[in-house]
Amino acid sequence: MKAFCNLEKPVPWLESVLDGERNQLMYDALRFALDKYQLRYREVPIRFRTEFVLRKAPYDGFCISYHSVGDSRHVWRVKETPVPYFYSFDRLGFSAWSEVSQFPERFFAAIDAVPFFEAKLFVESLSQYLRKNNLSKYAQNEETSLNLPDDFIFFPLQVRNDIVFQFCHIDPLKVVRFLASRAKKNGQFLIIKRHPLCKSKRVTVLLSWLIKTNPFVIVSDASINQLIPKCSKVVVANSWVGFEALIHQKQVLSFAKSEYSIASNNFTSLKDLEQMLQIENYNNVFAIKYVFYFLNKLCFDARDPATIERFLNLVLLCLENDFWCEKKLIDCYRDSL
């Protein structure tokens, strides 16, 4: 008897006006792959705010869960990335819950083994594609005639009720105030982009005050595909914008765990941040390799059935051998990808 799959159907994401079309393509591609392998499956509708609800695999199969976290045997987690049509496929979840975030040591060797020339060509091509088409997770401003300063630090804010906010080592608004004070002192501009869905009154008050009192602070709604390439460094908590900055080969200074913590410069205090901001020579070799590895090995492209089938083969291999948290699984997982 072939394995059975509980396939979660992310109804709100499929109906989203922001990215429903690409999510529908992803979901249809998963169903197509299961049909191709002649695997029986049951669609399980889910709603928002169910990230921490316990998922269990059926006794004779596995589960493909959307936008969830946890460590349940033979439950695999899917999550959208900021790169259109790319979705992560992880045993544990996303952001700081992802396997590459919780256990980065399992991935260092594989990332180091990525050919740098191949990775650099891929990253540069992707960067050009995103900039040319002005693509990101959310729709970006199309204005192109921006008068940006020659030297600035870019800080993209997140919504304060995002569940990944809990992983911040420092309150982001405290970091904003520090960077604003530093900008005024050093004469280096700070450009802040507010999250398009942010409605926090606290954020509104702080940004309004900074604009009025600090000539070196700019709050912009310009496209990140314009802001990132022109900035000197990106300071971020764990927003996906940090990963996009790695795509554009910028140094990322992060104060919260995420999928890309392994490739960013991480700090837990403002003193550490100040020291990192003074570093001029940035070696981005590992970061370039990581972007290539993450998108090509830890994600699938909803437009490419072969990338989905690669993960499905891994799922079935783990199920057949009943691997999950054993060392054999880790070796199998790494070798298969």
Q: pLDDT (tens digit, 9 = 90+) per residue, 181-237?
A: 999 999 999 999 999 889 999 999 999 999 999 999 999 999 999 999 999 999 999
Q: Note whether 195 and 321 are same-domain residues.
A: no
Q: Note whether 228 and 145 are same-domain residues.
A: yes
Phi-psi region of 134 (alpha: psi -120 to 50; beta: other; left: phi over 0): left
Q: Note whether 213 and 330 are same-domain residues.
A: no
Looking at every residue in the chain, the average pLDDT score rounds to: 94
Would you say residue 337 has pLDDT above 80? no
Q: Note whether 146 and 232 are same-domain residues.
A: yes
Which pLDDT value is given to residue 286?
98
Question: Which band of pLDDT confidence, cut at 50, 70 and 90, is reported for residue 322?
Answer: confident
Phi-psi region of 249 (alpha: psi -120 to 50; beta: other; left: phi over 0): left
Residue 94 within a domain: no
Q: Note whether 197 and 322 are same-domain residues.
A: no
Q: CATH code at 244?
A: 3.40.50.2000
Question: Which band of pLDDT confidence, cut at 50, 70 and 90, is reported for residue 334?
Answer: low
C-alpha to C-alpha distance for 292 and 321, rounded to whole angstroms: 29
Question: Which band of pLDDT confidence, cut at 50, 70 and 90, is reported for residue 333?
Answer: low
Return the amino acid letter for 102: Q
pTM for this entry: 0.95
Question: Which band of pLDDT confidence, cut at 50, 70 and 90, is reported for residue 159?
Answer: very high
Phi-psi region of 95 (alpha: psi -120 to 50; beta: other; left: phi over 0): left
Q: Note whether 67 and 185 are same-domain residues.
A: no
Q: What is the pLDDT of residues 303-317, one digit of tens each?
A: 999 999 999 999 999
Using alpha carbons, select from 273, 249, 138 the residue that is nearest to residue 198: 138
Q: Note whether 164 and 278 are same-domain residues.
A: yes
Arithmetic mean of pLDDT, 21-34: 97
Would you say residue 1 has pLDDT above 60? no
Which pLDDT value is given to residue 331?
63
Residue 90 within a domain: no
Which pLDDT value is given to residue 78?
98
- Determine the structural domain holding residue 258 and report its residue range: 122-292
Q: Note whether 318 and 257 are same-domain residues.
A: no
Q: Note whether 275 and 312 are same-domain residues.
A: no
Which pLDDT value is given to residue 8?
98
Which pLDDT value is given to residue 138?
86
Would you say residue 327 has pLDDT above 80? no
The number of distinct structural domains making up the chain is: 2
Q: Note whether 286 and 266 are same-domain residues.
A: yes
